Chains A and B, each alone.
Chain A
């Protein structure tokens, strides 16, 4: 599994890093970029969408109109009308001038620039206005020559400006080629950025699913490893039975429960008779297999609630719970003994095995686990002394002196 924290080569680590985070980076960059550009484009679109044809028409009409007013004011001033001062004429001149840049500068003149020759015409007009400015300053009422000269200059603007109004008017509702192309480009760009968002979003989702799956796998592996470790620490590797440590723990636990519920518990100490001979004659492999076969035989006799453990070597033990009286313990002991009386077949060899059992009862013979162990041990000693292959219940009366002696020693 890739999750193992085993040391890897640099190349492998690098490749794995790229595999895991590289794609994430790419997706994030793609997403951020697409979002930013898309936002920008939407804003641009908003600005492009503004219908400026009406505004263009207004601007050209105004220019045309201000030219008429300037020409009218020029004539009135030159002819000596009292209510027209030179400053009025100059103001008209300035106002007309101010209308010229509006035809070519800024966004609102886009349609004018598209539909007319304004970009050529306007600089030419402004050039003429500059030349005309000193003439206007010099002009006095009654100066017919200068008046005619200025009037002729202004008259040359009339037709082009009028044409401009007509051209802009004709372009109403029509999009200039440049705007059409710009709009199409904008549409393509927006589609591309949208695609970017969708693709990067998809990658991110896929990564999310992958990482979630991986996390779940790792968690399951960790749980299993933990379980394995626990089992290893608490069981005998040969027979898979609980080991001494787990057995002691269960015994303590069982006794506590029995004390609370006022139940009896029997502890059976089992010693396989002459196991050393088997080991010596057939080897450790056969010895181990015999132990496994014995364990399975013993298990078959037990109830689910009883605990069989291998304490070490040829020693086994059983915790028996839910006892109505001492006879139940003796019965189980005898059944365990007889379970091994029929021969066992191990690796094609037929082996005869027997077991010696000593039984201690809680709370009858002992008030805690240590005392219970001692009682069972004493009883087992009794069985062995009586010639093995049998079972003995601890007898507090006959063992009393010995027990006292042991306590005193």
Chain B
């Protein structure tokens, strides 16, 4: 089901399936570093890069940006969220890293992020959202990594089931699917 991995490419076809061993190794090293001094550079990605983060971040692993593969992202701590969404039937079980967790791991400073999708769709998400809600950068749906065809590799998921007030157009616009780039400012 997976496409051939092309290391170094920011554009990814499908999602990379990493061996369990790689996942554990990556998450271990990232977590170790996360607790060390912030200035320490981020380790490089081993698998396909599914997300690049640019802008006001303190930790990078490439020139001025952080490149993350699925294992690095999920290594920050897999958070689960079951919710309805305006685009799916019934309740769906999502898993991924909390946006707030990723931003603090990258020592991000700013007030908002600009999320860009594979089709160049852009949306601005304020940091306030991450304080108020558990906004998820979902990488899995019902336990399986998201493919592009089901709105992967990353889908910004708000806890709609938990907070009915999120059922509005503004939040819909911020729920970027096929996200592959974040710019912190």
Task: Report the separation of the CA atoms of residues A91 and B13 in the bound assembly, to the nearest whole angstrom.
Answer: 6
Contacting residue for A50 out of B87, B148, B167, CB 8 A:
B167
A87 contacts partner chain B, Cβ-Cβ < 8 Å: yes
A331 contacts partner chain B, Cβ-Cβ < 8 Å: no
Task: Report the separation of the CA atoms of residues A43 and B160 in the bound assembly, to the nearest whole angstrom.
Answer: 13
Nearest chain B residue, comparing its CB with the CB of A110: B86
Contacting residue for B13 out of A55, A94, A101, CB 8 A:
A94
Number of interface residues of B (CB under 8 A): 27
Indicate with 1 or 0, residue by residue over A84-109, a CB within 8 angstroms of chain B CB atoms. Answer: 00011011001101100110011111
Within 8 A of A (CB), among B19-60: none
**Could you pull out 23 A-B pairs where Cβ atoms are within 8 angstroms?**
A46-B164, A46-B167, A50-B168, A50-B169, A87-B3, A87-B6, A90-B13, A94-B13, A94-B147, A94-B148, A95-B118, A95-B178, A98-B149, A98-B151, A98-B178, A105-B87, A105-B89, A106-B86, A106-B88, A106-B89, A107-B86, A108-B87, A109-B87
A66 contacts partner chain B, Cβ-Cβ < 8 Å: yes
Q: How far is the CB of B33 from chain A (nearest CB, A)?
A: 31
Q: How many A-B residue pairs have CB under 8 A?
A: 62
Contacts A95-B119, A95-B148; A108 near B164 (Cβ below 8 A): no
What chain A residues lie within 8 Å of B169 (beta carbons)?
50, 54-55
Describe A's contact surface by its main secondary structure.
helix
Nearest chain B residue, comparing its CB with the CB of A66: B119
Within 8 A of B (CB), among A12-60: 43, 46-47, 50, 54-55
Q: B-side interface residues toward A, CB under 8 Å?
A: 3, 6, 9, 11-14, 84-89, 118-119, 147-151, 164, 167-169, 172, 177-178
Contacting residue for B11 out of A46, A55, A87, A101, CB 8 A:
A87
Number of interface residues of A (CB under 8 A): 23
Task: Report the separation of the CA atoms of residues A47 and B164 in the bound assembly, to the nearest whole angstrom.
Answer: 9
Further contacts, 16 of them, CB under 8 A, given A50-B167, A95-B148, A106-B89: A47-B164, A50-B168, A55-B86, A87-B11, A87-B13, A91-B11, A94-B14, A94-B149, A97-B148, A98-B149, A98-B151, A102-B87, A105-B87, A106-B87, A108-B86, A109-B87
Describe B's contact surface by its main secondary structure.
loop
What chain A residues lie within 8 Å of B119 (beta carbons)?
66, 69, 95
What chain A residues lie within 8 Å of B167 (beta carbons)?
46-47, 50
Task: Report the separation of the CA atoms of residues A98 and B141 in the bound assembly, to the nearest whole angstrom.
Answer: 14
Task: Report the separation of the CA atoms of residues A107 and B14 in the bound assembly, to the nearest whole angstrom.
Answer: 26
What chain B residues lie within 8 Å of A102 (beta carbons)?
87
Within 8 A of B (CB), among A90-136: 90-91, 94-95, 97-98, 101-102, 105-109
Q: How far is the CB of A111 from chain B (nearest CB, A)?
A: 12
Inter-subunit contact A98/B150 (CB<8 Å): yes
Contacting residue for A91 out of B86, B87, B148, B172, CB 8 A:
B148
What chain B residues lie within 8 Å of A50 (beta carbons)?
167-169
